[in-house]
Amino acid sequence: HKSYKLVVVGGGAGGCATAAKFSSKLGAGNVAVIEPADTHYYQPMWTLVGGGMKRLEESGRPMSQVLPKKADWIKQRVVTFDPHKNKVITQDGQEISYEFLVVALGIQLNYNQIKGLPDAFETPGVCSNYSPLYVTKTLESLKNFKEGNALFSFPNTPVKCAGAPQKIMYISDQYLRKHGKRDKANIQYFTSLPVIFGIKKYADALWEVVKERNITVNLRHNLIEVKPDSREAVFQNLENPDDLKTIKYEMLHVTPPMSSPDPLRQCAALTNETGYLNVNKHTLQHVTFPNVFGIGDCTSVPTSKTAAAVAGQFGVMQRNLRLAMGGTSPKHQYDGYTSCPLVTGYSKCILAEFDMDGNPLETFPINQAKERRTMFHLKKDMMPTMYWNGMLKGYWEGPKYLRKLMHLGMK
């Protein structure tokens, strides 16, 4: 039976940064990270992997190399939370006790909720940038594309990086043009949402992009089945649930339904009615257990789930956790900052940045709703280094100060 000052559950973007910061402050033996995966992936790169701009191997590093040396890595899956007793239980039955807990489990992919998946990924044309198992099939599907429908789905649940389901569509459009196949392709977006993007400023810009590129957008349609034998996808019209549309595909890019991770959802004491970790959206402290904090995709914070949001949350959470460890109440407040680099091709990007009220919160004093090459390079060439060397070591807290500097002298 092990016991720690701080236990971090999940060694992804938020968990790794947290473990780095606190193991360096508290010293060896005081911080544990519970994380089952061998490889830590920089998931934002998968959009570029799918489009053939990066290799899958470039997006991953051994977990042993990214987790801080001063933290104990418990290579296990947490299966049970017991916040009343300040402990968690792992799959192999270890009970790990904590004084403070940070939950950084990420979000769970539920491909199996779509009939025919995941098996259909073994068949031609079906791909998904959301998993390292299926992302390389995206480029393969583009290479093998002959003629027909190229379909891109957005599920009927919250997702991480809500722009990613359409980024790959724009990249695919450009790929097919480059290879002289665009006139043989009918590109269609099927989204469960009533809008193309949640923030009007960027939605307006994206409507221009789809018009110009000759892409069809079907709102309020949810992918419910893939039939690989006939190469058909079935979409349900959410406005009229009896209305099912069966459409042939040459290529189908799936964004899976997602949910809070099972072990978290199963602990009612920790979660809200939607199953996510119930934290105060400003302080990131749990609403009923003051020694529990949350960061990232697994929390109830009502902002778009991204690594950029994790960076912003990290600055606030680590300060508030330090105050809690010192016996005072949290005072730092998260504004909901999040960012979604909407890559629209092989050299262009709309850098959406906004807060939890849906107001744009842009870093640069230029209109970021415009497709720009500079933002593409920020996304493709600069962000990976900032992630591996800054964020995962606990040094990157988002572009807040850069934004203030950039806007000096402006309103």
Residue 311 lies near ligand UQ1 (rule: CB under 6 A): yes
Q: Which of 164, 169, 130, 124 is nearest to 145 (CA)?
A: 124
Distance CA 299, CA 279 (A): 7
Residue 160 lies near ligand FAD (rule: CB under 6 A): yes
In the complex, minimum distance from the CB of residue 391 to ligand UQ1, in angstroms, rounded to a whole number: 5
CA 353 to chain centre: 15
In the complex, minimum distance from the CB of residue 91 to ligand UQ1, in angstroms, rounded to a whole number: 30
Q: Which string of x and - marks every residue 345-374 that binds ligand FAD (by CB under 6 A)?
A: ------------------------------
Taking CB under 6 A as the criterion, the residue among 83, 106, 155, 330 binding ligand FAD is 106
Taking CB under 6 A as the criterion, the residue among 66, 102, 117, 161 binding ligand FAD is 161
- Provide the pairing of β-strand 258-259 with 251-253: unpaired
Per the DSSP assignment, residues forming a β-bridge with 350 are: 342
In the complex, minimum distance from the CB of residue 237 to ligand FAD, in angstroms, rounded to a whole number: 26
Nearer of residues 9 and 45 to ligand UQ1, judged by Cβ: 45
In the complex, minimum distance from the CB of residue 41 to ligand FAD, in angstroms, rounded to a whole number: 8
Q: Which of 387, 372, 156 is nearest to 257 (CA)?
A: 156
Distance CA 325, CA 148 (A): 59
Residue 336 lies near ligand UQ1 (rule: CB under 6 A): no
Residue 100 host element (H or E): strand 95-103
Taking CB under 6 A as the criterion, the residue among 48, 169, 383, 392 binding ligand UQ1 is 383
Q: Which of 200, 196, 203, 198 is nearest to 221 (CA)?
A: 196
Q: What are phi and psi of 300, to 5 degrees?
A: -85, 0
In the complex, minimum distance from the CB of residue 303 to ligand FAD, in angstroms, rounded to a whole number: 11
Residue 24 host element (H or E): helix 13-26
Question: In terms of C-beta density within 10 A (0-12 exposed, 13-18 middle, 19 or more buried), how is residue 325 classed?
Answer: middle
- Rounded to a whole number of angstroms, the CA Rg of the chain reads 21
Taking CB under 6 A as the criterion, the residue among 22, 31, 35, 250 binding ligand FAD is 35
Distance CA 300, CA 41 (A): 23
Q: Which string of x and - marks every residue 182-221 that binds ligand UQ1 (by CB under 6 A)?
A: ----------------------------------------
Taking CB under 6 A as the criterion, the residue among 228, 363, 392, 394 binding ligand UQ1 is 363
Binders in 250-289 for ligand FAD, by CB under 6 A: 261, 263
Nearer of residues 13 and 117 to ligand FAD, judged by Cβ: 13
Residue 343 lies near ligand UQ1 (rule: CB under 6 A): no
Q: What is the DSSP string of 268-317?
A: TTTB-TTSSB-B-TTT-BBSS-TTEEE-GGGB---S-B-HHHHHHHHHHH
Is 340 in the active site?
Answer: yes
- When CB distances are held under 5 to 8 angstroms depending on the partner's kind, the choice from ligand FAD, ligand UQ1, none that residue 391 binds is ligand UQ1
Residue 374 host element (H or E): helix 373-377
Catalytic residues: 161, 340
Contacts to ligand FAD by CB under 6 A:
9-15, 34-37, 43-44, 46-47, 77-78, 104-106, 129-130, 160-161, 164, 261, 263, 296-298, 305-308, 310, 339, 341
Contacts to ligand UQ1 by CB under 6 A:
44, 307-308, 311, 339, 341, 363, 383, 386-387, 391, 396, 398-399
